Structure 1
Amino acid sequence: MELRGRTVLVTGGGTGIGRAVSLELARRGASVAINYSRSEAEALETAAMIRSAGGTAETFKGDVSLDEEVRGMTDAVVRSFGTLHALVNNAGITRHIPMDDLEAATGEIWDKLLDVNVKGMFFCARAAAPHLKANGGAIVNVGSIAGTTGLGSSLPYAVSKAAVHGLTKSLARAMAPKVRVNCIVPGAVATRWWSGREEQMNRLAPQQLLERISAPEDIAQLICAALEQEAMTGQIITADSGQTL
C-alpha cells in the first residue's frame, strides 16, 4: 500500500510509539487520525507537529475498550476524511505488579487489561472493517515480547499481549483476502512507560545483542513498512535488538 494520500487511524496516537507512528505516517504522506482517551494535550500537540510540517492530522477521542465509543470514533474519522485505508492498533495499558505475586493479579486488573489491550483491538478492527475491505486496506497490531516470553510488567499484561498475537492471526484469516493484518512486537522501547526506570534500562541495554534500547521511531518505521507490504499477512514480527534470540 502506498501511504501517500491514504488515511490511517492510530489508536493511542498522541504519545510514545503512537506519536512516532503518527509522525512517520505523515512524513510518508498519509493523513493521520490520532485517537486518544485521556492524553488529549499530547494528541493535540502531535497533530500540531504534523500540521506545522505541512501534513494533515486530526484528533478523535474514544476509549477503545468501549465498542460504542469505537464505532462513533470510526464514523467521525470517515466523516472527516471521507474514508479509511489503514488502522494501527497501538493503544494499550499495563499495570506494574510482580510476576510471582498471583494475589496481586486481581480480577479488576485482568478485566481492564484484557478490555483495552485485546477487546479494544478487536473493536477497532471490527468498526474499521467495512472501510478497510472497500479499500484493500491493512491493520497493524502492536504486541510485545512479553506475549512471547511470558515475562513482563505483570502476568495479566503478558497474557494480554500473547492474546494480541493470536488475535492478529485470527483477524488475518477472518479479513482475508481484502485486508492484511500483521503484528509488530517491540522489546524494550524508550517511552514514558520507562519513566523513573532509567537505571533498569541502562542495565538492560548492554544485554541486548545490539546493545541498545529501541527508540519509538524504530518501531514506527517497521509499522509503516508492514502497512506498505502487500504480500504479507498474519505475521508476528519482532523488533527487540536481539533480546529474545
Structure 2
Amino acid sequence: MVDLSGRTVLVTGGARGVGLAIARRCIDAGAAIIIADILAEEGARSAAELLASGAGACRFVRVDLGDPASIDALAVNIALTEGRIHGLINNAAIATNVGGKPFEEIDIGLWDQVMRVNIRGTWLVSRAMSPLIHDGSGRIVNMASDTALWGPTNLLAYVASKGAVLSMTRSMARELGARRIGVVAVAPGIMKNEATNYVPAQRHHEYETRRAVQGAQYPEDIVDVVAFALTEGALALTGQTIATNAGFWFK
C-alpha cells in the first residue's frame, strides 16, 4: 500500500479522466491534492467530491497551460497557500481530436496548439513549480504516452509532443538530481475514457488484443504506478520511462 501521508501533490489536468483518477488515488493514499485545470466547473466539482470523500485535503485552481501568465499565477497561488509541494503530476495535455490525418494534412494551427500545451506547458509548469518542490523528497511525474515508443500513424502531432516529454524527463532528471528530486515519465497505452472516445474502434481493438494481458485498460489501472513514483523510495527510478500498457509494447 502506497503511503503519501503528509505529502502535497499538484495534478494538472485533474478535472476528469486520467488526471482525476490519479488525484483520487493520491488522496486515498493520504496526500493533500491540488487540482489544476482549464475546466473550471468540472475541476471545482471534482475537487469538492474528493474533499467530501474525507480522505484528505483537496482544492481546485484554474490554469491555462497555453498562457504563461496563468501558470505563473498558479505558482504564486500555491506558494501563498501551501508554501511547498512534494509532488507534481504533469498530466494536462491536448489529446482529443488531434489524430486521424496523415502528417502531410495536419493543420498548422492544431500542431502549434498541441506543442504549446503538451510541450511548452509541461516545461513552464515544471519551471514555475521547481522552487516550491521539496529537495530530497520532491517527485515529478510527466504523463507521456506509449505512442511515442512505437509511432502509430495519423497521430504525428500528439506522438511528437509526447516524445518530447520523454526527452524532457531525462534532462530534467539530470538537472534536478543535485536536489535529489526524482523525475519520471509514465507512458500509458490507450485507455477507455472520454479523451479517447474519438479513437477509431480498430485502434482500441488492436491494443486490447495485442497486449500481453489482453483487454481494455482504464485510468484506474495505472494510478498505483503513478502513486508509487511520488514516494521517497522511487528516487532510483529517476529519468526512466515507465510503460504502463499491460504489455502492448516492451521497452
Could you tell me the TM-score, scaled by structure 2's length? 0.90
Q: Quickly say closer, same or farther: Cα 1:3–1:164, change in 2 above 3 A.
A: same
Question: Which whole-Å CA distance do the structure 1 matches of 2:246 and 2:3 have between them?
Answer: 28
Please state how far the C-alpha of 1:107 moved relative to its aligned partner. 2.1
- Counterpart AA for 1:164: V
Please state how far the C-alpha of 1:97 moved relative to its aligned partner. 3.5
Please state how far the C-alpha of 1:141 moved relative to its aligned partner. 0.2
Please state how far the C-alpha of 1:40 moved relative to its aligned partner. 2.0
Question: Which residue in the other structure is 1:226 paired with?
Answer: 229
Q: Quickly say closer, same or farther: Cα 1:89–1:153, change in 2 above 3 A.
A: farther
- Counterpart AA for 1:74: A
Q: Quickly say closer, same or farther: Cα 1:69–1:153, change in 2 above 3 A.
A: farther
Question: Which whole-Å CA distance do the structure 2 matches of 1:223 and 1:60 have between them?
Answer: 21
Please state how far the C-alpha of 1:98 moved relative to its aligned partner. 3.2
Question: Which residue in the other structure is 2:83 paired with?
Answer: 82
Q: Quickly say closer, same or farther: Cα 1:101–1:162, change in 2 above 3 A.
A: closer
Q: For 1:62-211, list aligned pairs within 5 A.
A: 62-94=63-95, 95-102=97-104, 104-134=105-135, 136-151=137-152, 154-178=155-179, 179-195=181-197, 199-200=201-202, 201-202=204-205, 204-211=207-214
Show CA shifts across 1:197-226 (max 9, x none).
584435641232211222111222111111
Please state how far the C-alpha of 1:111 moved relative to its aligned partner. 1.1
1:140 and 1:226 in contact (8 A); partners too = yes
Question: Which whole-Å CA distance do the structure 1 matches of 2:183 and 2:147 have between them?
Answer: 20
Please state how far the C-alpha of 1:154 moved relative to its aligned partner. 1.8
Question: Which of 240, 244, 247 is matched with 1:239 structurally?
Answer: 244
Show CA shifts across 1:55-112 (max 9, x none).
210100111122221111121122222321110000000343335251x212212211
Q: Quickly say closer, same or farther: Cα 1:130–1:196, change in 2 above 3 A.
A: closer
Question: Which of 203, 214, 218 is matched with 1:215 structurally?
Answer: 218
Provide the secondary structure at the position in 1 that maps to 2:235. coil
Q: Quickly say closer, same or farther: Cα 1:79–1:2, change in 2 above 3 A.
A: farther
Structure 1 residue ranges without an equivalent (≥5): none
> What value does the CA root-mean-square deviation take over the aligned residues?
1.9
Q: Quickly say closer, same or farther: Cα 1:100–1:231, change in 2 above 3 A.
A: same
Question: Which whole-Å CA distance do the structure 2 matches of 1:6 and 1:20 have between them?
Answer: 17
Question: Which whole-Å CA distance do the structure 2 matches of 1:146 and 1:127 have between them?
Answer: 28
Question: Which whole-Å CA distance do the structure 2 matches of 1:9 and 1:45 have between them?
Answer: 17
Structure 2 residue ranges without an equivalent (≥5): none
1:145 and 1:187 in contact (8 A); partners too = yes
